[in-house]
């Protein structure tokens, strides 16, 4: 059997499998990070729009609390 045929049927080395897994994991992490940033920007824009539409609420000054006896 020629060496080429033997190599084509052999399993990938541990290093090759690790590199493939690493590459896939990093791609997933990058995609999730991009999706998270996109969602954050969308929610921030909606919050800013909502805050612009509503009048500011005046807060009551905080009174002093009495100590429990």
Q: Specify the pLDDT at position 41.
A: 98
Sorting pLDDT into bands at 50, 70 and 90, what band is 1? very low
Please give the model's pTM, rounded to 2 decimal places. 0.57
Q: How many domains does the structure of the chain reveal?
A: 1
- Is 2 a domain residue? no
- Is 4 a domain residue? no
Q: Specify the pLDDT at position 5.
A: 55
Backbone angles phi, psi at 41, to 5 degrees: -65, -40
- Is 45 a domain residue? yes
Burial 27-61 (b: 16+ CB within 10 A, else e): eeeeeeeeeeeeeeeeeeeeeeeeeeeeeeeeeee
**pLDDT digit string, tens, across residues 6-60:** 556 788 999 999 999 999 999 999 999 999 999 999 999 999 999 988 877 788 8
Q: Specify the pLDDT at position 55.
A: 79
């Amino acid at each position: 059997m020629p060496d080429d045929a033997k190599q084509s049927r052999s399993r990938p080395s541990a290093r090759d499998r690790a590199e493939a897994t690493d590459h896939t994991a990093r791609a997933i992490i990058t995609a999730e990070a991009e999706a998270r940033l996109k969602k954050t920007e969308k929610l921030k824009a909606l919050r800013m729009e909502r805050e612009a539409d509503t009048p500011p609420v005046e807060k009551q000054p905080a009174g002093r609390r009495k100590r429990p006896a």
